[in-house]
Amino acid sequence: MQLIVGIRFKKAGKIYYFGPNGMELGEGDHVIVETARGVEYGDVVVAPKLVPEEEIISPLKPVIRKAGEEDDKRLAANRAREKEAFRVGEGKIAAHNLPMNLVDVDLTFDNSKLIFYFTADGRIDFRELVKDLAAVFRTRIELRQIGVRDEAKMLGGLGPCGRALCCSTFLGDFHPVSIKMAKEQDLSLNPS
């Protein structure tokens, strides 16, 4: 058995597991952890608990520290920079006349990379756009094309039932929707 803690980086995002590293952590605590994307700021959503070794995907990275006041200020500054990047990104997309819709911008906590999420009908050659954005922000730029379901999850909204969208509140992963399922719910069979 191994002690783990569940951490979420985005609202309604996936839960990732880390080692608590001997810290007293509880739900709602803000922590700093090392991820594949670099150092990230996250929220504890699963209090420390014991889990069998077989259920853990190795290696389990440790929590670096609890987030302090400086980390909170840095997060707020990053959120402001993301808004500015979104505004600039929309302008650059319009200037390059690209048929894409910018959905969200994500800045890593250590400011090493800006990720632009967008939707588009087909493949798009955005190499010149990346060069322009890199010249403006002087950091690594990544453009990621997402589907309409991911867009709905990021933006949120109300479902046909009148409640908040399931994908933006509690669903972690998307499973394929079959034609039969769409017919049962009287949904359009053409996704476009």
Q: How far is CA 43 from the centre of its chain?
A: 13
The pLDDT of residue 192:
53
CA distances from 53 to 62, 96, 158 (A): 15, 51, 39
Q: What is the pTM of this model?
A: 0.82
Provide CATH 3.30.300.20 ranges for the chain: 72-146
Q: How confident is the model at residue 38 (pLDDT cuts 50, 70, 90)?
A: confident
User: DSSP letters of 178-192?
Assistant: -HHHHHHTT--S---
pLDDT of residue 48: 87
CA atoms of 81 and 104, how far apart (whole Å): 12
CATH of 72-146, one of 3.30.300.20, 3.40.190.150, 3.30.2350.10, 2.40.128.20: 3.30.300.20
Lowest-pLDDT choice from 11-15, 67-71, 91-95: 11-15
pLDDT of residue 191: 58
User: What is the share, in percent, of the chain residues with pLDDT greater than 70?
Assistant: 97
Mean local confidence (pLDDT), 91-101: 93
Q: At 11, is the pLDDT very low, low, confident or very high (cuts 50, 70, 90)?
A: confident
Q: What is the pLDDT of residues 108-145, one digit of tens each?
A: 998 889 999 999 988 989 999 999 999 999 999 999 99
* pLDDT score of 159 more than 90: no
Tell me the pairing of strands 140-145 and 113-119. Answer: parallel
Average per-residue pLDDT in the chain?
A: 87
- The share of the chain scoring above pLDDT 90, in percent, equals 43
